[in-house]
Every structure is written in structure tokens, then in C-alpha cells.
Amino acid sequence: MCAVFAHIRHRPTQNRAPHMIFPTSMYALSSARRWQSTHYLDKLCRHWLSSNDTAPPPYTLTTYADPPGIGRNAQPSCRKYLSALESSPMNVYTPSISTSTSYPLYSPASMSRTNVGWTLCGASLVVTWLLVNAADAIWMYFYIQACINPNPRTAVNRTHSGFEGYEAMMFFFGFIWGIANLFVMGALIGATWSWEPTSFKNSRSWSIMKAIFVAFILFPIAVFLVIMPFFGGWIVLPLAQIYAWNHRCDDYPMTVVLDGKGYYGARFTPDVARFYQTGIDQSLYTFDIDTDSSDFGTFHLREFDVDQVSIPLQFYPTLQQINYNFINNTVTGNCTVPVSQGSSNTTTSQCVSGSFDLGQPLSFNVASAVPSNATFNASSVETIRTSLRTVDKQWTFGDDAPSLILREVNTNNLQLEEIVLRTAVTKKGDCTRLKICVAGPPSVTNPTVGGAVMVPLGIILMRQADYSIECTTPSDN
């Protein structure tokens, strides 16, 4: 491409007279520096004039070394030729030697323009190559972001089918571009390995320097540019997923891990939700779901994982049972509190009621009067009504884990306000486990364990249980 560009831009004017001094093939690749050497031109001229009009040796003059066999006898006509060359801005022909073909001779001025053409074309190709690599990296960045931080939706994953198309095209282009980078870097390594300046000719130290440069700089870069366009998503995504699992909920007071039993889980193994205070690895307590009937479901306390007295008051789950009616999409919940300070006797009463819509978007209307564990008269707790809605319409998928951000809705203007909870990512290597970041509505006294959190968690756990079976089912099934 660059050769064509340079030829069109700097094609020399041909002399119609049947005269020549040197064939073009001898000098088309020689540098402008060479042509500016009067001593070298004199040697070439004398060599040609001593050849008795026979065909010259096929020198390409791609190096700075003098070609062999140059004659040493001075020829007066060479002086005339050199003078003409120095005064001509374009091509020079010597009329003293007659041949059957006319060949153009490149002067320093024309060679300089040709070199500029090569330089501009080469620079444009290098810039284009770098820009395509940068664009491919950006393409992959948005793919990884959509995988580990899918909410709120962007143009990349606005629809699940659109994201799958984006992913397929990224890997297809990455395969093609990786092959292109293989050829480019192979040519660069080859050119670097064969490059040998005159001052370092046959130098052992220069060979060692080239070997080190190629082995420790060019070769790693080549491997990176060949592998990453196609395999980069598979390499980087697991690392990003691990980081998101460990740190996505750092700014939330509580995290919940939904753990589905999966395809191989025993029938008696429940789908559970383990509650953690952020920053502490030990779970505080565990809830599970009971969905033996397709019309009804229960999300209830299974066990305390630590001593109850060690659980901070704001994280203590007095709301211990939530009942879902999928016939009319209603929900009720029961709270359990001690009858008095330090008493082991408890009392249970209904403290949550409301409705839900499992469509797109997912939404809840919950009336909650959940007492703290230090409240001995549950009826004295004020009822707070909360409306919740997901930011994006699509929140559940057949071949992926639930993914959503649930925000409180301002009932006056129907605008979404504070985040109540959000999904993070599934655990690397274990698709049955999904992490939830919990904040709760700020208007509630103990927001992380109120009805506005517990009611949606039960629904999300049910959908995660479905996905756990889907993602662990053997392909032959």
C-alpha cells in the first residue's frame, strides 16, 4: 500500500531519449543520504562506464556497503555527469551511453519526496493499527462491565439478546484481529532481528542487545496482542468477577448470599439466604424458602449461626416468617419478639402486609411495622408504607442469575429514590451463589431487616434457586 502511495505521489518524469546511466532497480531502494555522497556517485559512475555498455550487476543498494567490483579508473564523462546531477532538481540522464531502453534516475530531491510518502503512509498505518487495538480494548471493557456490573442497564446490555449479540461479535472480531496482530508483530520482530547498523556490523554485543529486546519486550507484547483480542474476555472476566464479589458491597451495611442447591442438591437440601454484617466473614443467621406448592411460598428463619446476644440490634431479624400468595400476589409477615427483657419467652404477631408484581419491572408495596428485638410491645410500632421498584424492567433471565437494583419510589412524583438493595455477582466458579448488597429504606429504624428488604429477598431467592438448577444441569440433559 505504501509503495503504491509513494509511486503515485512521486512518480519521476521519464526522458524519451534512449539514453541511460543506471537502471532504476539499482537505486529505487537506496536512501537520499547515499545520493548526496559525491564520492559514492563517482564510484558508481566509473563502474558503469567501465562495463562497456553491458548489463550492470543487480545491486539493490539496500545497505550502506559499497557493491563489489567497482572500477577505479577515472572517467572524464563522470565529471560532467556529477555536475549535471548536482544542478538538476529532478532526474539526470547521461547521453554518452546509448541503449535500447530509457530508465529514470532518481535525484536527491525526488528520493526525498518518495521517502516522505513512505513515512506518511507508514505512520498512518501504524496509527490506524494502534487505534483499532484501542477500540478492541474498549469493546472488551464494556463487555466485562456489563457482566460484573449489569445494573443499571447500558446500550450494551439494554436487552439480554442484544448483549449476547454484542458478546458474539466481540469474540468473532477478536479472533480475526488476533491473527492480524500475529502478522504485524511477526514482521516487527523479524525486522528488529535483521536490523544491523553499520557501526555495529558483526558486533556480538549488538546481537545480545537485540536478543534481550526481542525476548523480554517485543515477544511479550506480541503474545499479549495476539491472545487478548480473542481470549481477553475469558481471562479478565474471572478476575473482575472475583474483585466484584469481594468488594461490590463494601459501602452497604449488610450483605446476603443466596445459595441455591443446584441440580445435584439432595431433595432435603434447602435453598438458603445467609446474612452477613459487611466486613465480617461469619454469617449471623440463615433463612430458607419453602415452595412445595406453586401457589404459596414461605421465606422464614432457619437458624441462628452465632449467639443471638452477639448480633447487633439493627441486624437482629425479628421478622422471621414471610408468606407469599402467588394466586393474588399478596404477602404477609410475622414478627417474633421477647415478652420482656432477658426473657426466653416470645410472642409472634403479624407485622407485614402488602402486594407485589413479578412482571417487568418488579415492584412491591409493603406496609411494615417491624419492631426491634428490644421492643416488647409490637403493637406500639408505627406502620410504614414503602413502594419499591426495580430500575430496569428485565430482572430475571432463563440462562442467567437475577440482576436488579431495587429503589424506593417517591409516592408523590413516582420518582425512584434511594437504593434498598441490589444484586452484585455470582461467585466465581459457583453459579449457585448470588450476593446481594442491602441498604434498606432510610425512613425505617432498622432498615436492613425490615419488610422492605425481607419481602423482595424471598422472591429473588426463589428465582436464584431456579437459575441454580439451570446452570448446574449437565449439558447432555
Residue 211: what pLDDT? Answer: 92
Question: CA-CA distance, 161 to 461, in Å (whole number)?
Answer: 24
Q: What is the mean pLDDT of residues 310-330?
A: 96
Q: Is residue 160 part of a domain?
A: yes
Answer yes or no: do 399 and 287 share one domain: yes
Residue 22 has pLDDT above 70, yes or no: no
pLDDT digits (tens, 9 = 90+) for 331-387: 999 999 998 887 888 999 999 999 999 998 999 999 999 999 888 777 788 899 999
Same domain, 88 and 159: no
Looking at the structure, do residues 220 and 261 belong to the same domain, yes or no?
no
- The span from the CA of 473 to the CA of 399, in Å, is 11
* Bridge partners, 357 (sequence order): 363
194-216 pLDDT, tens digit each: 888 777 777 888 889 999 999 99
In this prediction, residues 444-453 reach a mean pLDDT of 90
Q: Is 213 exposed, middle or buried (0-12, 13-18, 19+ CB in 10 A)?
A: middle
What's the average model confidence in pLDDT over 408-423? 94
Same domain, 79 and 184: no
Decide if 463 contacts 396 (C-beta within 8 A): yes
Of the two residues 15 and 256, the one the predictor is more confident about is 256
Q: Which helix (H) or strand (E) holds 301?
A: strand 296-304
Residue 267 lies in a domain: yes
* Nearest by Cα to 147 from 256, 232, 225: 232
Provide the domain limits for residue 67.
2-106
Question: What span, in angstroms and rounded, lies between the C-alpha atoms of 19 and 411?
Answer: 95
Pair 407, 437: CB distance under 8 Å: no
Its sign, for the CA torsion 202, 204, 206, 210, is positive
Let me know whether 290 and 188 are in one domain.
no
Mean of the pLDDT values across residues 30-58? 48
Quick one: pLDDT at residue 49?
53
Provide the grid cell at 181: 496482530
- CA angle in degrees (0–180, nearest 5) for 141-144-146: 110
Amino acid 43: pLDDT: 56
**What radius of gyration, in Å, describes the C-alpha atoms of the chain?**
39
Q: What values do phi and psi take at 409, rounded to 5?
A: -105, 130
pLDDT of residue 2 exceeding 50, the answer is: yes
Distances (CA, A) of 33 to 25, 29, 60, 61, 288: 17, 12, 15, 12, 82
**Could you say which of 106, 128, 153 is where a domain stops?**
106
Q: Identify whether 477 is part of a domain.
A: no
Shared domain for 223 and 263, answered yes or no, is no
Whether the CB-CB separation of 174 and 446 falls below 8 Å is answered with no
Of the two residues 240 and 1, the one the predictor is more confident about is: 240
How long is the chain? Answer: 477
- For residues 83 and 130, state if they share a domain: no
Asked if 324 contacts 458 with a C-beta cutoff of 8 angstroms, the reply is: yes
Question: Are residue 386 and residue 442 in the same domain, yes or no?
Answer: yes
What is the rounded average pLDDT for all residues in the chain?
A: 81
| Environment class of 362 (CB within 10 Å of its CB; exposed 0-12, middle 13-18, buried 19+) | buried
Please classify residue 27 by burial: count the beta carbons closer than 10 Å to its beta carbon, then call 0-12 exposed, 13-18 middle and 19+ buried.
buried
285 with 434, same domain: the answer is: yes
Domain boundary among 106, 134, 157: 106
Beta pairing class for 346-357 and 416-427: unpaired
Residue 268 has pLDDT above 80, yes or no: yes
What secondary structure does DSSP assign to 162-187, as a single string?
Answer: HHHHHHHHHHHHHHHHHHHHHHHHHH
One domain, residues 377 and 429: yes
In a domain, 113, yes or no: no
The per-residue pLDDT for 443 is 79
Here the CATH number for the domain that contains residue 467 is: 3.20.90
CA triplet 163, 168, 171: central angle to 5 degrees? Answer: 125
Question: 456-469: buried (b, 16+ CB within 10 Å) or exposed (e) per residue?
Answer: bbbbbbbbbbebbb
Cβ–Cβ < 8 Å for 440, 355: no
How many folded domains does the chain comprise? 3
d(CA 286, CA 300): 9
Same domain? 300 vs 433: yes
Percent of the chain at pLDDT > 70 equals 75
Whether 262 is covered by a domain: the verdict is yes
Cβ atoms of 108 and 35 closer than 8 Å? yes
pLDDT top residue among 63 and 198: 198
Say what the pLDDT of residue 84 is. Answer: 47
Let me know whether 458 and 372 are in one domain: yes
Global pTM value: 0.73
At 118 the pLDDT is 74
pLDDT value for 45:
56
Domain-embedded: residue 427: yes
Report the pLDDT value the prediction gives residue 23, as an integer from 0 to 100: 39
Q: pLDDT value at position 183?
A: 96
Task: In whole angstroms, give the CA distance from residue 220 to residue 236.
Answer: 17
Is 298's pLDDT higher than 60? yes
Q: Is residue 112 part of a domain?
A: no
Residue 313, pLDDT score: 92
Q: What is the pLDDT of residue 343?
A: 80
pLDDT at 96: 38
In a domain, 41, yes or no: yes
Q: CA dihedral defined by 196, 35, 82, 92, rounded to 10 degrees?
A: 130
Instruction: Name all contacts of 186-189 with Cβ < 8 Å and 24+ positions apart.
Output: 186/222, 188/218, 188/222, 189/214, 189/218, 189/219, 189/222
Q: Among the three residues 106, 138, 172, which one is the final residue of a domain in this structure?
A: 106
C-alpha cell at 31: 536512501
